[in-house]
Structure 1
């Protein structure tokens, strides 16, 4: 049987990686996650440097490319280079310049740690503009605004993101219920989600087991699910009606929540615009402001 030719553009390559992901080996799944989360690094770095970042031998990247139908990693990498060539270069160039400057210094003062943190988080936030599909963001806002009650789920590193969403949606006039893990009740509360409700689940690598199992159980009940994660290869993806991924960028603090917080705020504003019927000027008052 003749094998189909491999994808010749970045979008179709990512689609193929998603289609094949569940059937890949553990090592190839790790490579898939890195490629989808770090497209700019893949475009400009050698396969040896990329492999070193992942702690995986370079030959595994070659075999990964061949698994998808390419003759080697360079052929696959060319699609990432084409993508980068069509992107706006200004901000990315400044970020890389700052990172090179930071690596060249030996000063580890508090001020330099702050500078390094800002640079890596700025890259993560900027990437949201390139990676979040406008249609997906609109669909997520529509699901949440139409729901009678929005149930919120997030644990560990995701907890502050979910707490912020609860605050913002509540102040925007949307009824919310937190699936609080204390007392072991999160799974039981999830079973009260009705057909007119929606679940907003937040989880990042390494994904909390209870969050993943709750999302799968809610999906089996055919409830609407919006997921916020760090990768389109997240275990939440197969259950969510829409998944929004805030990819991580290397920095001094492993797995910063700055980009997810920014995305959470955008979701809340989009829901507020629909709830208040004010698409151009949505407003989320503070607790103090609401008393005036």
Structure 2
């Protein structure tokens, strides 16, 4: 049944905002749909209804009901917003993504070298997504917060640890006061309580989100400390309240999920900060550890 209580969204941006607003009150099946739609907009624009339902792990009828609950006559009408988005993407971008996906789908080489090739091709695709989805305004705002912060608190657990470890190293070498909220000793939550509104909390967390990371982000935000978040979805539990959210979608939840895109993003933030601190926008330098 179509929800006639309001007009269906007329653009992709309006649709995503509506999904965010309604997500907490949605059924479990609808939340799965909302998460998939926000994380995989390119796929939604080109895949069949059946294929999308399979990837969401639900019956196709749930997609129709989801669309109708948002004011559309059916899922095809909702899907049209994603197709319009693709037509306005960077020239050739969608073609490159499709070519990469086709190459992956047709590969039958399961040798050790084949696994390497598989990962590299997927990383290329995720890095292309990163360029398309991250805006100059987001980068600039995040770097401004990093530059102004008295202390930058970093937190990431589970598979996010390499990203925050890289940031700790680079920011320390740049002379920026940095605190890594390490879970060792069970002190991360207590250490975070020292953060002030003049500081910054930078959190990295992907599904399945570490409970302590989510709790620290919420508690620190409640005290007025600005948050920069790197996560996998605009519906991530650490997204709410973030001054800047970098959504780096992960298209599958397997053992081989790569950190290429978030690591690249972390490096970009560090280099951009170095350029400001050194007053050299063309050739910023990150000092390295040397031995006598």
Aligned partners of 2:215, 2:53: CA distance in 1, in Å? 32
Q: 1:105 to 1:180 in 2, by over 3 A?
A: closer
Q: By how many angstroms is 1:89 displaced? A: 4.8
Of stretches 26-35 and 94-103 in structure 1, the one that deviates more from structure 2 is 94-103
Tell me, which stretches of 5 or more residues in structure 1 are unaligned?
Answer: none
Kept in 1, the 8 Å contact 2:157–2:213? The answer is: yes
1:266 aligns with 2:259: no
Match in the other structure for 2:29: 27
Q: Note the aligned Cα RMSD (angstroms).
A: 1.8
Q: By how many angstroms is 1:172 displaced? A: 1.8
Match in the other structure for 2:284: 282
Matching residue within 84, 92, 96 for 2:86: 84
Q: 1:101 to 1:226 in 2, by over 3 A?
A: closer
What's the TM-score once normalised by structure 2's chain length?
0.94
Note the alpha carbon deviations across 1:19-45, whole angstroms, 9 max, x for none.
211221222111111111111110111
Q: By how many angstroms is 1:90 displaced? A: 2.6
Kept in 1, the 8 Å contact 2:4–2:71? The answer is: no
Q: By how many angstroms is 1:239 displaced? A: 2.9
For residues 121-132 of structure 1, the aligned pairs below 5 Å read 121-132=123-134
Q: By how many angstroms is 1:252 displaced? A: 7.1
Aligned partners of 1:211, 1:49: CA distance in 2, in Å? 33
Q: 1:212 to 1:228 in 2, by over 3 A?
A: same
Aligned partners of 1:120, 1:102: CA distance in 2, in Å? 8
1:179 aligns with 2:177: no
1:66 aligns with 2:68: yes
Note the alpha carbon deviations across 1:83-106, whole angstroms, 9 max, x for none.
111223534423422432333343
Match in the other structure for 1:142: 144
Kept in 2, the 8 Å contact 1:95–1:119? The answer is: no
Matching residue within 43, 56, 59 for 2:58: 56
Kept in 2, the 8 Å contact 1:215–1:239? The answer is: no
Aligned partners of 2:82, 2:46: CA distance in 1, in Å? 9
Aligned partners of 1:254, 1:32: CA distance in 2, in Å? 24
Aligned partners of 1:195, 1:98: CA distance in 2, in Å? 44
Match in the other structure for 2:20: 18
Match in the other structure for 1:220: 222
Of stretches 163-172 and 152-161 in structure 1, the one that deviates more from structure 2 is 163-172
Aligned partners of 2:280, 2:151: CA distance in 1, in Å? 20
Kept in 2, the 8 Å contact 1:39–1:80? The answer is: yes
Kept in 2, the 8 Å contact 1:92–1:123? The answer is: no
Note the alpha carbon deviations across 1:210-254, whole angstroms, 9 max, x for none.
000000110111111111111111111113111111111349754
SS in 1 for 2:24: helix
Equivalences, count: 290
Aligned partners of 1:146, 1:51: CA distance in 2, in Å? 45
Q: 1:251 to 1:24 in 2, by over 3 A?
A: closer
Match in the other structure for 2:240: 238
SS in 2 for 1:23: coil
Kept in 2, the 8 Å contact 1:99–1:116? The answer is: no
Aligned partners of 1:63, 1:203: CA distance in 2, in Å? 31
What's the TM-score once normalised by structure 1's chain length?
0.94
Q: By how many angstroms is 1:185 displaced? A: 0.1
Kept in 1, the 8 Å contact 2:234–2:245? The answer is: yes
Aligned partners of 1:81, 1:228: CA distance in 2, in Å? 26
Tell me, which stretches of 5 or more residues in structure 2 are unaligned?
Answer: none
Tell me which of the two structures has the higher relative contact order, counting C-alpha pairs closer than 8 angstroms and 6 or more residues apart.
1
Q: 1:249 to 1:89 in 2, by over 3 A?
A: farther
SS in 2 for 1:152: strand
Aligned partners of 2:161, 2:278: CA distance in 1, in Å? 27
